Amino acid sequence: QVQLVESGGGLVQAGGSLRLSCAASGFTFSVYAMGWFRQAPGKEREFVAAISGDTHYADSVKGRFTISRDNAKNTVYLQMNSLKPEDTGVYYCAGDTIIQRVRALPVYWGQGTKVTVSS
């Protein structure tokens, strides 16, 4: 069955960096668009970044976050630099057949990894 397993979350000070990883299995990873969402406490889940042949980013993370993938390892990454307290939340990996669907309502979801940025 399809599995998306995130890792790499944790506690970091403002201005610091983290790299999230998402290991995928159960589908043909290389042909799928992948993405990251996040949900802050008390807020709705929001799109962060997506990758297919190109990359898309939310305005709030442009220039600070970088999404990448390694098709040989069936893994997608999110490098997060210059972290801010407002980046705190649970980060979810997601996948779907095309990037537009990943941005909207992807079919595959991971369980999430928690990121806390202290001020």
pLDDT of the chain, 119 residues: tens digit per residue: 999 999 999 999 999 999 999 999 999 999 999 999 999 999 999 999 999 989 999 999 999 999 999 999 999 999 999 999 999 999 999 999 999 999 999 999 999 999 999 99
Q: How far apart are CA 112 and CA 11, in angstroms?
A: 15
Helix/strand/coil for 113: strand
**Which among 85, 70, 54, 83 is positioned nearest to 21, based on CA atoms?**
70
- The dihedrals phi and psi of 30, each to the nearest 5 degrees, come to -65, -25
Instruction: Name the burial class of residue 111, with classes exposed (0-12), middle (13-18) and buried (19+) by CB atoms within 10 angstroms of its CB.
Output: exposed
